[in-house]
Structure 1
Amino acid sequence: MIFLVLLGLGLFLAIVWWYIDYYRHFKGVFNIPRPGWMFPIFGHVFLAKNATDAYWVLHQLTMTVGKGKAIRGCLGYFYGINIADPAILERLLTHTSVINKSQLYKYAHRWLETGLLTSDHEKWRGRRKLLTPAYHFKILEQFIDVFDKNSNILVQKLQREVGKNKTDVFPFVTLCALDTICETAMGTCVNAQQCADSDYVQSIKRISEIVISRGISVLKQFDFYYLFTQDYRDETKCIEILHGYTMSVIQSRRKELLAKQNENEKPKQIEENLGYKAKIPFLDILLQATFNGEPLTDEDIREEVDTFMFEGHDTTSSAISFTIYCLANNPHVQKKVFEEQRDIFVDNPQRETTYQDLQEMKYLEMVIKETLRLYPSVPLYGRTVVEDFSIDKYSFKRGTEIAFGVFSLHRNPEIYPNPEVFDPERFTLEETVKRHPFSYLPFSAGYRNCVGQKFAMMEMKATIGMLVRKFVFQEAPDSELKLKSGLILSSATGVNVKITNRVW
């Protein structure tokens, strides 16, 4: 009896505390509409039937309740505001009080720790400055043959799928992107496309699922509960494998560079390498870098390399897969992409891709941009307010979570007429300049925009261009997408197309 009384009292106090905390966070933005009743502790979690339809539910609520601008709500103990108004987004994304990432990113901390993606503004600022030279176009240009090499393996894998009623291209593309990011980030090959069942490949896949699962599960948000789950045990095993592999590569490469120094052979510095033909993986740049006058430790380097691995393969895999799907379902668009490829490669579709080729793929770039409008790889960006501040009629309190609703923003009919229609012509220069500059945010914007967006666009062009030169993609039976919520957009039913050989 005493136990039940104490349990009831504890529950009552928890609910009271939750309401007080909720009011503290939202008292300056009560003029932002809220979608109906909230359950104590759980908040609005029950509005979505399952994790698969969460983005659609959020989008519909933002368009209806929020009039396409903003709504407020909560998921467990995360109190958030979903913003989809370009004018407000611009002011928030360029505000120094909204530079820290959302607390939801903490679920990736055991793996990524506090690298460029997850670090707070002080550490992030220094690391961003340090890493920016790695994305100079001369550095990126050296990786085009890596894109080609791994895309050729992807072609061989998809060749076995020719003639089938349907093929889910997402797992094939994911392994290709993983091979590419490993070679460009670490200068090593994991042969993911040839050894898909390797411990490293499987660990990358599993830990990504776990991070996403924690973000959308109210119970797993509580560390005490999470410690007793199978996910925690799986995560611990995955981290041991991933950190162990990355650290072994770092230490091996550090010894190689040290040996060169001992032999009086000076390693090539970034500035020298702007005209240098040999490949310089991002790892080498980190090994030669200094932060506050000191070289980075192995642990510092590992968290940045692991961040490259996470950000550089999942997001690109999503974008490439959805682009293939859009081409299959819009044959008139695919025809124009192919004609552009034929104009560039003329009578030699087998030759290596060059940097100039990628610059000439103007229409393909428009297609990719339109795909990222409909299917943004990261549909929701999160930030945490670090200091109280006001914008117009809104007062944002320290600790409030702000979500930038890219998915809703990109499907707002007031910005993009007939938003569900796939139309690359939206991204001609004439059409682009008509829109608010913050109405299209597939790579975020402002202070923490994606440092690797040029790299990603080059990789996507090289891979999709080669695939279109080799294959015709067609709509497959029962191929309708069922978008799945997570840190990265995917489809619960796969990204299915029918593949046939292309006649050049």
Structure 2
Amino acid sequence: MEFYLNVLLKTIYLLITVNLIFKFSKWLINYSEKLITVNRIKGLPMIPFIGNVHQLKTKYELVKQLSQLAYQLKDEPLWRLWLGTMPIFVFHRGDYAEVLFSSSKNTQKSVQYNFLHPWLGTGLLTSHGEKWAKRRRLITPTFHFEILNDFLNVMNEQANILVEILAKLTTQNQEINIFERLKACALDVICESAMGQHVNAQNDETSEYVQAVARISELVTFRFFDPLQWPDFIYRRTAKGKDFERCLKILHDFSKKVIVERNSHLDDVDLMSKKRIAFLDLLLKAKRMDQSITFDDIREEVDTFVFEGHDTTAAAASWACQLIGSHPEVQKKLHEEIDSVLGQSKRHLTNDDLKELTYLDLVIKETLRLFPSVPYFGRTLSEDCEVGGYKVLKGETAVILAYMIHRDVKYYPDPEKFDPERFLPENTKNRNPYAYIPFSAGRRNCIGQRFALMEEKVLLANILKRFEIKSLKSIDELEPVGDLIIHPNKGIPITLNLRC
């Protein structure tokens, strides 16, 4: 009996070993074939199984490193990196990125977006396929221009609070970190617009919710750049992982509480007759017409609005302040335009006012060219593609490097120069539409881009109406960092002088 048992065990061990050897051999063959295919594309020299992990800089230097590589390979249609055994196809030219944007299939976000799932679930930002299409259809009506007009009041009110805070700091001759001030303002705008909630971020930095929003964004970024923290079973046991869970509970509890309260007060009258509505009201109204929409679905979208709607806008407006403050001739034109439209009036900006601020439009567009709020974004390829004579493989990750697409000398001569007139109609008529993608492009373009541009315009117009901006550091000294958004390493210090 013992003999037969030993034979059986040895047979099982042998079968397991043979199966493992077979699977490893099959994986090794696939990996070898992948190496041959992918390495036809130019990129950094790599080491099998390690790739380029040992060569990549920290997040504080990554933008500069990727930019240098893109300039070195500027004539290539794309280039590649390896993270271990995973190839990354990097698109740095709009002409060739078109294959990703124009396809109805390559809409799935890359695996790195999974780190946002605990907070945002699989809402509009992180979902794909039919679920994404359904969410897009659900949310699109909430960005109707008539509804956006209502949010203009929120933007004006919060801009006024910001300007009063800045005026007080100015009289005290204080150096101002405009990035932090604009982050707080943008968070107030999006929380009131999305949830109808006053979180008072501009005046109360101790708010538990405000602190949790800032901290969880940092934690996602840290994890994104540290492969050792990618596995959930490891991350949950780290100090950062436990802090993440703490912040997550604060954010989800707040959102759920607001949703329940808002739903209990929502009646069946026409929402447009209300004095002020929020995105949340529109989603709750949609739920009453479609019972398949759950409160968790709504919570995912509200949290997504908050995540996507404050840091990105704050970063764009902050970089605009930096560029305006270091280009006196541009600032002079802006002051003249704003004075001609608003005069000495202290009224809120209207939509008609915003339409007349055409030079400010050019400044914002050029700022977003140089500093697209999201400097790069990833897609998981759903099919094999041919790009510039190279094969790009299904199931792998493509990174669209918007930061460098916006510096393609074919469309932007002297690309590092700040020149708002690049966006005059006569200078854009022959430009490839995918050479400028601050809000992505194609089916997965940013649904909130009109909201974001309106907010940036209101904030900048209010600041420029009252102040003259002076930048204290150069762009190089600010050390742009590219993680979830492109932001200065240690803020953007400026001084302001009252104009009136």
> Which structure 2 residues correspond to residues 235-384 of structure 1 after superposition, within 5 A?
235-257=244-266, 260=267, 266-268=268-270, 273=272, 276=273, 278-290=275-287, 293-348=290-345, 350-384=346-380
Cα separation, partners in 2 of 1:15 and 1:363, compared to 1, 3 Å = farther
Q: Number of residues paired by the alignment?
A: 478
**Structure 2 residue corresponding to 1:399, chosen from 395, 402, 405:** 395
Aligned-residue RMSD, C-alpha: 2.4
The 8 Å contact of residues 57 and 65 in structure 2, kept in 1 or not, is answered as no
CA offset digits 1:43-76 (Å, max 9, x no partner): 3233343211101111111221353631111234
CA offset digits 1:229-254 (Å, max 9, x no partner): 21101110000000000000000011
Report the counterpart of residue 495 of structure 1 in structure 2: 492
| TM-score scaled by length of structure 2 | 0.90
Over alpha carbons, which structure has the higher Rg? 2
For the residue of structure 1 that corresponds to 2:296, the secondary structure is helix
- Aligned partners of 2:31, 2:185: CA distance in 1, in Å? 44
Instruction: Name the % identity.
Output: 39
- Aligned partners of 1:363, 1:277: CA distance in 2, in Å? 34
Query: Which one is further off, 211-220 or 309-318?
Result: 211-220
- Aligned partners of 2:193, 2:130: CA distance in 1, in Å? 27
- Aligned partners of 2:469, 2:28: CA distance in 1, in Å? 53
Report the counterpart of residue 207 of structure 2 in structure 1: 198
Report the counterpart of residue 174 of structure 1 in structure 2: 183
Shift of the alpha carbon at 1:144? Answer: 1.0
* Aligned-partner residue type, residue 128 of structure 2: D
Query: Which one is further off, 138-147 or 16-25?
Result: 16-25
Query: Which one is further off, 395-404 or 228-237?
Result: 395-404
- Aligned partners of 1:450, 1:376: CA distance in 2, in Å? 13
Cα separation, partners in 2 of 1:235 and 1:39, compared to 1, 3 Å = farther
- Aligned partners of 1:75, 1:291: CA distance in 2, in Å? 46
- Aligned partners of 2:385, 2:289: CA distance in 1, in Å? 31
**Structure 1 residue corresponding to 2:219, chosen from 183, 193, 210:** 210
Query: Which one is further off, 338-347 or 60-69?
Result: 60-69
Report the counterpart of residue 480 of structure 2 in structure 1: 483
Shift of the alpha carbon at 1:85? Answer: 2.0
- Aligned partners of 2:402, 2:79: CA distance in 1, in Å? 14
Report the counterpart of residue 432 of structure 2 in structure 1: 436
For the residue of structure 1 that corresponds to 2:400, the secondary structure is strand
CA offset digits 1:17-38 (Å, max 9, x no partner): 9976655656544432121234
The 8 Å contact of residues 287 and 295 in structure 1, kept in 2 or not, is answered as no
**Structure 1 residue corresponding to 2:141, chosen from 133, 152, 171:** 133
**Structure 2 residue corresponding to 1:58, chosen from 66, 69, 84:** 66
Cα separation, partners in 2 of 1:340 and 1:85, compared to 1, 3 Å = same
The 8 Å contact of residues 35 and 65 in structure 1, kept in 2 or not, is answered as no
**Structure 2 residue corresponding to 1:415, chosen from 400, 407, 411:** 411
CA offset digits 1:316-368 (Å, max 9, x no partner): 010010000010011110111111111111231x1111111111111101101
Cα separation, partners in 2 of 1:419 and 1:24, compared to 1, 3 Å = same
- Aligned partners of 2:289, 2:383: CA distance in 1, in Å? 26
For the residue of structure 1 that corresponds to 2:416, the secondary structure is coil
For the residue of structure 1 that corresponds to 2:478, the secondary structure is coil
* Aligned-partner residue type, residue 91 of structure 2: I
Report the counterpart of residue 8 of structure 2 in structure 1: none
**Structure 1 residue corresponding to 2:89, chosen from 51, 67, 81:** 81
- Aligned partners of 1:44, 1:410: CA distance in 2, in Å? 25
**Structure 2 residue corresponding to 1:103, chosen from 104, 107, 111:** 111
| TM-score scaled by length of structure 1 | 0.90
* Aligned-partner residue type, residue 317 of structure 2: I
Shift of the alpha carbon at 1:414? Answer: 2.5
Cα separation, partners in 2 of 1:77 and 1:238, compared to 1, 3 Å = farther
- Aligned partners of 1:304, 1:342: CA distance in 2, in Å? 39
Cα separation, partners in 2 of 1:27 and 1:444, compared to 1, 3 Å = farther
